[in-house]
Chain A
């Protein structure tokens, strides 16, 4: 604690209910001024609710808040901003077609003429940039900036509004490790200038790297406040989940057999003429797990969509389980499934599930034309219920209710439902995108075990993930994509976070360059 008993924000017995849901139970939180404070917890632990209370979106049912020792009861975000609190949301609140300057000023304009506020803002921003070492091109369109810079625009926005307490929600979700390091350097600078920072995250490594203190939430309660220097990953994981968690995945040596997926100069040009996938070639063997690493938006989504039949290739071809799919011979997702492919999509809300549907309806998505689900012209509802029920029992999907709308399951259980659906059809090739995004640590453990189990059962598994930890702990071989091309390939034993991080930014270390034997891909 830098300044004893001087808290940037203090919460006393904050309680919030939503009807039957008790989201925050008597939360106490003390964040010393000028420190970086981490708040960790699983999905649904109540972190977002708590932050929304601090930022004035929700009013607590009871409890008190103090900012700099003064009582603080915000009714909306304007009052929170006025009290010196700034928030950087996980999904940026920026207008892509405005310049950085216009974005920063948006909502804080003064006077009649926009030019005047822009001029004043420019002066103030130059000062802020100088003070904190935040370098952002003020006159560029936000849409043209990489995500790392967009995030800095968000931070600038908060500082422009004189934030003395900055809350960042999952700030490193979209960043490369190098960009994350850069962000941490900025946060460090902010701290040294007296700004207080709260980081909400589920990445234990990062919270350990940057914070001074950590608060852990579980099931609506604050279960621990620890000094960062006194704790470690295992302890934090156990506090979050409430039981011992194995962070390391046990897996045996892969036993690759015959090639089940062979990609040959596959290319994809989207409708606006941009080449998203640049003539990539690779293969996955039965019993092998190949990971695709890369910063999100570098073509990995398109690769999955191409291989699963959602997108039609514009050049090249690939072989799935003996079937060739090419520009002239495309296949739709149902045909691809029939070739023995299971696809766990990257985004279960957008693709994998239909929120409005009951679990049993979502369970047949993509397989709804199979004879076992139909009886003549009508669907066989009894069979659907029975098969879904068996699957939910087997995969321990909770709550175990086939009639519950999929939106009402937790992230981990939604994902289990999707994985159950795809794996129960016993495919030979598994395409997996972001299997543990937004999933609780407990469920992550289970999902990772199942992915390894399906590899060991002789399936060819292709895993796309932006979580480096996940790629490193699961994959036997790692392909790195950058700007739609495969820029490198590593065996699991060659890979570490730093090497991968550099390769994800298209900087190929020399020793890797030498070991890439099968020619260039860019």
Chain B
């Protein structure tokens, strides 16, 4: 006896929209509390994120980062794995990107460095995901626990490398030397300028296009390849997968390598694209936010892009807000937290009532058919 059905768009589109709206309403209360008119605040955020070219560039720059980390979480999720370690995998992946830029970047132009950095970042990120994956598949060590621990190990390892090895003698800051300028990824505004279109400068670089390509790749891989089929089989019903002869160890490891690889690409955007040096904590929590992005995006590349855009907007709009009103920059974290709370932790809170209302309004005809 199945329960009454509501159309897919209600759960896929309406429910997340209502969740975000509620998060914004609660944020509005917060703004009122700190004496900011919520309508003004949203206006500042909106124009800050979408209203002018530079702001929009920043929004998309952040979006790019969220796409990588969100995709990483989403891919793992299809095999039933909760990869909490994207933060660490992105961090270590960045090391791979950085090493290539610091070495090969001295001699080669960006279009040579870029593919090598992609491979290195991917390999480093994947390697960091491999050990938890193997432990999960072979020993049953829970991947949530091991990936969390690997985040800490990654942070310590990077701190050590930055302080003792990568930091030039001449500086006190925990960061590597600046990459040779020739290895920097072209910015989108530079690209547009080549076609005679003048756009205000922003950190948005060509890795945005690479991120979108990754989305297409993930879509093809998960839904149109037999390996993706095996991944989804294991995620949906591990014993049926074993009945079918799908190798659990192999698929778990492949999935996590792929997830770690996508996480490792994060450094392309941030390091080769914008910072041009390895800095302490350059991931800045994007790996963790990737979990929320994947959750909101329902682990589908299209959803991940949309959710990344939302978080990019919050990041950029929130920054403008703190600048305009002089509130702490952490206001962004509060907004993010509320969005995650309502669309992640309380994702299904409104589901029963929305379904009930929908059925009351539109469910009549269906009853007649029965």
Contacts and interface: CB of A to CB of B under 8 A. Distances in A.
B233 A354 contact: yes
Contacts of A352: 240, 243
Contacts of B139: none
B245 A18 contact: no
B1 A48 contact: yes
A333 interface: yes
A503 B231 CA distance: 44
A350 B238 CA distance: 9
A310 interface: yes
B173 interface: no
B245 A19 contact: no
Interface stretch (A143-151, A209-217, A364-372): A364-372
B230 interface: yes
Interface centre among B220, B236, B245 (most CB of A within 10 A): B245
B1 A378 contact: no
B367 A19 contact: yes
Interface string A354-370: 11110001001110110
A18 B2 contact: yes
Interface in A332-382: 332-337, 343, 345, 350-357, 361, 364-366, 368-369, 373-374, 377-379, 381
B86 to A, nearest CB: 24
Contact of B244 (A356, A365, A374): A365
B226 A18 contact: no
A419 to B, nearest CB: 14
B223 to A, nearest CB: 9
A345 B247 CA distance: 18
Contact of B2 (A355, A365, A368, A408): A408
Interface stretch (A20-28, A72-80, A167-175, A394-402): A20-28
Contact of B367 (A20, A310, A334, A353): A20
A59 interface: no
A256 interface: no
Interface string A274-303: 000000000000000000000000000000
A314 interface: no
Nearest to A367: B244
B224 interface: yes
Contacts of B359: 19
A19 B225 contact: no
A305 to B, nearest CB: 8
Nearest to A376: B225
A309 interface: yes
B2 A351 contact: no
B1 A18 contact: yes
Interface in B1-34: 1-5
A49 interface: yes
B243 A20 contact: no
Given A354-B236, A365-B240, A20 B245 contact: no
B370 interface: yes
Interface residues of A, number: 43
A251 interface: no
B4 A366 contact: no
A17 interface: yes
B348 interface: no
A302 B295 CA distance: 38
B236 A332 contact: no
B229 interface: yes
B225 A17 contact: no
Interface centre among B4, B243, B366 (most CB of A within 10 A): B243
Contacts of A332: 245, 247
B240 A19 contact: no
B236 A310 contact: no
Nearest to A24: B1
A366 B237 contact: no
B243 A19 contact: no
A374 B228 CA distance: 13
Given A332-B247, A378-B224, A379-B226, A18 B240 contact: no
Given A18-B3, A377-B225, A310 B370 contact: no
Contacts of B237: 350, 353-356
A345 B241 CA distance: 12
| Tier of interface size on chain B | 20 to 34
Contacts of A365: 233, 240, 243-244
B109 interface: no
A365 B220 CA distance: 19
A361 B229 contact: yes
B283 to A, nearest CB: 32
Nearest to A408: B2
Interface in B202-233: 220, 224-226, 229-230, 232-233
A349 to B, nearest CB: 8
Interface string A45-60: 0101100000000000
A224 B100 CA distance: 79
A309 B367 CA distance: 48
A343 B244 CA distance: 10
A354 B240 contact: yes
A306 to B, nearest CB: 13
Contacts of A381: 224
Contact of A20 (B225, B230, B370): B370
Contacts of A308: 243
A379 B225 contact: yes
B363 interface: yes
A361 B228 CA distance: 12
Given A20-B370, A23-B1, A365-B233, A345 B243 contact: yes
A46 B363 CA distance: 22
A368 B226 contact: yes
Contacts of A356: 236-237
Nearest to B243: A351
A434 to B, nearest CB: 14
Contacts of A46: 1
B243 A333 contact: yes
A378 B225 contact: yes
A19 B4 CA distance: 4
Interface string A431-442: 000000000000
B243 A310 contact: yes
Contact of A350 (B232, B239, B247): B239
B194 interface: no
B92 to A, nearest CB: 28
29 contacts: A17-B370, A19-B2, A19-B3, A19-B5, A19-B366, A20-B4, A20-B5, A20-B367, A23-B1, A44-B1, A49-B1, A310-B242, A310-B245, A333-B245, A334-B244, A350-B239, A351-B242, A353-B237, A365-B240, A365-B243, A365-B244, A366-B243, A366-B244, A368-B226, A368-B230, A368-B244, A373-B226, A378-B225, A379-B225
Q: Which 9 A-B pairs have the closest CB atoms?
A: A19-B4, A333-B245, A334-B245, A366-B244, A351-B243, A354-B237, A356-B236, A20-B370, A365-B244
Interface of A: 17-23, 44, 46, 48-49, 308-310, 332-337, 343, 345, 350-357, 361, 364-366, 368-369, 373-374, 377-379, 381, 408
Interface of B: 1-5, 220, 224-226, 229-230, 232-233, 236-237, 239-240, 242-245, 247, 359, 363, 366-367, 369-370
Given A22-B370, A365-B240, 16 more contacts: A17-B370, A18-B4, A19-B3, A21-B370, A44-B1, A48-B1, A49-B1, A332-B247, A333-B243, A350-B237, A351-B242, A364-B229, A365-B243, A368-B244, A378-B220, A408-B2
